[in-house]
Amino acid sequence: MLNKVHHITFVVESIDDMAGYIERNFSLAPMSRDEFEDRGFKSILYRIGETYVDFFEPLREDTPMARQLQATGPGVMHVAWGVDGIDDVFADLKAKGNEMRGDAPSASPFGYRNLNIDTASSHGILFQLAEGEVSH
């Protein structure tokens, strides 16, 4: 079922500071910079091998990433695992008794589809599964 690490999302205080750090130390420039006002964050996105790495900066205090940043400081928000056939995976996980966030896989603002297993079903760990490539 799981076939790769699709992406890793970090929450940071400043994507500009992080982009400068990554460029200075690793000679990488982001493949995209985005602002998702409706979702309450700005992002920078990198591709490293097969894996996407993104950094989110909260724009509002009422977002999950802002609450995480306040509670624990900068760090990993989640790791998303790659899958094929995400609709079937969703149905299979639900049939196995997992509580899912939402009624079906959803579209990310980056163009791929994803699903999230509610942490009440997964021993407190957020499992996000994703299918598809970033459409930037």
Reported confidence tier of residue 54, pLDDT bands at 50, 70, 90? very high
Q: Is residue 83 part of a domain?
A: yes
Q: Is residue 136 part of a domain?
A: no
| pLDDT at residue 4 in the model | 96
Domain count for the chain? 1
Q: Is 58 exposed, middle or buried (CB count within 10 Å of its CB: 0-12, 13-18, 19+)?
A: buried
Structural domain span for residue 39: 4-131
- Region of residue 49 (phi > 0: left; psi between -120 and 50: alpha; otherwise: beta): left
Q: Tens digits of per-residue pLDDT, 91-122?
A: 999 999 999 999 999 999 999 999 999 999 99
Output the pTM of the full model. 0.89
| pLDDT at residue 135 in the model | 86
| Domain CATH code at residue 118 | 3.10.180.10
